[in-house]
Amino acid sequence: MGETAGIKEEKRCALVTGGSRGIGRAIAVALAKAGHPVMINYSGNLDAAEEAAMLCATEDLELPVFIEQTDVSDEAGAAKLIQSAEEKLGHLDILVNNAGITRDGLILNMKTEDFQAVLDTNLKGTFFCCREAAKLMMKRRFGRIINMASIVGLHGNAGQSNYSASKAAIIGLTKSLAKELASRKITVNAIAPGYIDTDMTRAMSDKAIENTIKAIPLRRAGQPEEVGALAAFLASEDAAYITGQVIGVDGGMGA
């Protein structure tokens, strides 16, 4: 295993925001499998967070796993979360910004507060966490930041103008930060999932699911673990020369 700034790769510590369910949980588990102590951030569902933590802990009974409730859209709360991760984990080396919400609706019916809420959590939450984590990573001259974008941030989607705008902005943020932080050996990349089998997508109507699957060249939904595997790779030493990239996990939808 490689070492950077005195930190062994297998002991690099990770924070996953929105890590209690779905894609976030799969990422947390994948990082734990790779030997990383993990902090799982959640917004409201304690039971789900504890379950995610147990899944991480089963990979190694001695692996530290923590949970922390925070609304990342709150600037002070996000700063406190990053500081807590630094203190409880010992050092914060990997940040995965996965926390996000949806408030879907066509533009003519979309309320201003619904547009703003999505930007506050998805975009501002990512920005707040990146800014605070970068301060710590720059001092150690190492870091991995992985931001969750979406295929709709690249191609748009009817009824999701707010969500699409937030994810497109995250892509711009990712590319800018990659340029700013590269000299300190901090990589910044984005993952753009397509249709992934989660609680959120299972709430779609059968017809909507059928139509979505037809639009995917691989003709199936992706699994959260497939996104988690990519996140674990981007956090590894094997990905040290990859930065400023947006990598799709979409079964070919964005091809």
42 counts as catalytic: no
DSSP 124: I
How many helices (H) and strands (E) are present in the chain, helices listed first?
10, 9
Contact 79, 106 (CB under 8 A): no
SS3 content of the chain, % helix, strand, coil (to 5): 50, 15, 35
DSSP 184: G
Q: Which residues contact 163 (CB under 8 A, 6 or more apart)?
A: 102, 103, 104, 118, 122, 150, 152, 157
Q: Which of 42, 163, 195, 241 is catalytic?
A: 163
Distance CA 146, CA 123 (A): 13
Residues recorded for the chain:
255
E strand segments, the chain: 3-4, 7-8, 14-16, 38-42, 65-69, 94-97, 143-148, 186-193, 246-249
Strands 186-193 and 246-249: parallel
* C-alpha distances out from residue 252 to 60, 156, 248, Å: 35, 16, 8
What amino acid positions are annotated as catalytic residues? 163
